[in-house]
Amino acid sequence: MSANSPKPGVADLQERVAGALALAKRLGASEAQAAASFSTGLTVNVRMREVETLEFHRDQGMGVTVYFGKRKGSASTSDLGAAALEETVRKACALAKYTTEDAFAGLADPARLARHVPDLDLRHPWSLDADAAIDLATRCESAALDADARITNSEGAGVSSHDGYRAQGNSHGFLAGYSDTHHSVSCAVIASAGEQMERDMDYTTARHPDALESPVAVGREAARCACARLGAVKIGTRTAPVLYPARLARSLVGHLVGAVSGGALYRRSSFLLDSLGTAVMAPCMTIDEHPHLPRALASAPYDDDGVATADRRVVDRGVLQGYFLSSYSARRLGMETTGNAGGAHNLVVADTGASFADLLAEMGSGFLVTELMGSGINPVTGDYSRGAVGFWVEGGELRYPVSEVTIAGNLRDVFHGIAAIGTDRDLRGGIQTGSILVREMTVAGS
């Protein structure tokens, strides 16, 4: 399929997937699966009120996996033309001859495959041409630059829009597809006072362009956050409560997901091995997975194995109710798939009824994190250590900005030390949570 070919829809991609599966069967594969995608997009970046980059994206491809008994072969292509697809299937079949048998290899259980694909309202195209995108990005950055005289430089503002189609199928008779869109506006600026410079940013993202925050609001918020960090001081090492605002709190839940995902579990490389049915978090933590939320950023009718997704409770008052398993990792663990091949789908953390102001008041004196740096997480032991900036809080009020500190602890203790979850839920990702207050962590400074 050439760059000038008509844009394929879901039905066209399903036809190509079906053709690949039929060819794999003719070549002797005992089982096969294939997934095809096509997407277009526009991205513009503006810096200091001038266009820096303007890109139009057109991406397409197919991946094919075949099984000859317990031998597996995979191949992929970025060309959806008939000749390229045939070559890809043949390459996958040829590669399978050289792989070692894996007793756990194979497709998902046919009984678990999605037979009905609900409409999750995921596709809302944005009629955005280059001129309109440039105007939005320029207005976003200008709002930041003009918001405060202390905003002296910019890392730029960006606007992006993505429109995609996908189809998936396997030799168990599964064949499905759907389309989706993803749009965003972002801005990052630098504030200065004397010799000190501080950077911060803000962004908005949604399936529907009407759900985006205004570019002016994004720019002004980026400027406010950058200016608020001016005058940051270093503090001495201490033990104190730590408050993760909603946009950073999802990282804590993400560490839980990583620790109870199939790959980490069957490799025995997780600090939460054999934790099903045990208390892994504080009693105030309840987490549900909702794969079918309309327009949500991580909604999906089925996982990468074609397994139907469904609502479930992952953590109930601190007790782990389920892992995150693909069909393969489930077989390795002697369990059933949870429909999570490819990851989690819309994890929603229940709040404890506290507003952000309530969390500050409950914390009293402690550290409010506004940015995390580095990835000092040991998945085997749970040891946690990340660079951070933020604000020192006294009497439930922000007193002064703080920089060059490290917040540390063990994730077991951090999870069990969660005291409250805010009502200020952030919807800009696959993990939806409010701010999270941790009773005690080490804040290492000077």
Instruction: Give the Cβ contact number of residue 145 at 10 Å.
Output: 21
Rounded Cα distance between 123 and 163, Å, is: 7
Note the pLDDT of residue 8.
81
- In this structure, the chain runs to a length of 446
Note the pLDDT of residue 375.
82
Per-residue model confidence as pLDDT tens digits over 338-393 = 999 999 999 999 999 999 999 999 999 999 999 999 888 999 999 999 999 999 99
Rounded Cα distance between 92 and 24, Å, is: 9
Rounded Cα distance between 228 and 156, Å, is: 19
Note the pLDDT of residue 5.
57
Instruction: Give the Cβ contact number of residue 185 at 10 Å.
Output: 27
Note the pLDDT of residue 3.
45
Note the pLDDT of residue 374.
85
Written as six digits, the tokens of 212 are: 């985006």
**What DSSP string describes 140-156?**
HHHHHHTT-TTEEEEEE
Rounded Cα distance between 357 and 1, Å, is: 56
- Measured N-to-C along each axis, helices 215-228 and 130-145 cross at an angle, to the nearest 10 degrees, of 30
Note the pLDDT of residue 400.
95
Rounded Cα distance between 75 and 264, Å, is: 25
Rounded Cα distance between 137 and 170, Å, is: 42
Helix or strand or coil: residue 173? coil
Q: Which helix (H) or strand (E) holds 436?
A: strand 436-444
End-to-end CA distance of the chain: 60
Rounded Cα distance between 304 and 307, Å, is: 7
Q: Structural domains in the chain?
A: 10-227 (3.30.2290.10), 232-446 (no CATH)
Amino acid occupying residue 245: P
Q: Residue 313 pairs with which residues in a beta bridge?
A: 288
Written as six digits, the tokens of 269 are: 């490389």
Q: What angle do CA 160, 428, 292 make, to 5 degrees?
A: 105
Identify the CA nearest to 329 among candidates 402, 269, 263. 263
Note the pLDDT of residue 376.
86
> What does DSSP say about strands 366-377 and 238-244: parallel, antiparallel, or unpaired?
parallel
Each residue of 254-279: b (16+ CB within 10 Å) or e? bbbbbbbbbebbbeeebbbeebbeee
Burial (CB count within 10 angstroms: exposed 0-12, middle 13-18, buried 19+), residue 395: exposed
Low-confidence residues of the chain: pLDDT under 70: 1-6
Written as six digits, the tokens of 30 are: 């005992």
Going through 378-425 in order, the beta strands assigned E by DSSP cover: 383-394, 397-410, 418-421
251 to each of 133, 271, 315, 375, 424, how far by Cα in Å? 31, 17, 16, 11, 16
Rounded Cα distance between 233 and 116, Å, is: 57
Note the pLDDT of residue 6.
60
Rounded Cα distance between 327 and 304, Å, is: 10
Identify the CA nearest to 421 among candidates 432, 411, 408, 413. 432
Helix or strand or coil: residue 369? strand
Per-residue model confidence as pLDDT tens digits over 80-99 = 999 999 999 999 999 998 99
